[in-house]
């Protein structure tokens, strides 16, 4: 892994991203101490499944009715 200071990272961001695209991790340092790592984005870990909440959400017949105290704003 290569360590670069913040100034270098700001001025050479495109080149550092190219390194990441080729599988390298790049460390960004401030005052010689590592503070961040550039690494490839792997996407979300959890795959969403259609219908996974079926039976867990209940809508009552009056879900779209407002309480009487709010009705003064709509008259």
pLDDT in tens, 12-57: 999 999 999 999 999 999 999 999 999 998 877 777 888 888 888 8
Range of the domain at 13: 1-40
Whole-structure pTM value: 0.55
Q: Does residue 20 belong to any structural domain of this protein?
A: yes
- Give the per-residue pLDDT at 45: 76
| CATH number, position 16 | 3.40.1620.10
Q: Does residue 2 belong to any structural domain of this protein?
A: yes
Concatenated DSSP letters of the chain: -EEEEHHHHHHTHHHHHHHHHTT--EEEEETTEEEEEE------SSPP-TTTTTTT----TTTTPPPGGGGGGG-
User: Count of domains in the chain?
Assistant: 1
Confidence of residue 68 (pLDDT cuts 50, 70, 90): confident
């Amino acid at each position: 892994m290569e360590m670069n200071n913040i100034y270098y990272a700001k001025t050479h961001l495109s080149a550092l991203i190219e390194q990441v695209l080729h599988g390298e991790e790049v460390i960004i340092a401030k005052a010689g101490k590592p503070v961040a790592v550039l690494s490839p984005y792997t996407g979300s870990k959890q795959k969403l499944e259609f219908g996974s909440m079926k039976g867990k959400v209940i809508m009552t017949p009056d879900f779209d009715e407002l309480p009487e105290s709010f009705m003064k704003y709509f008259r």
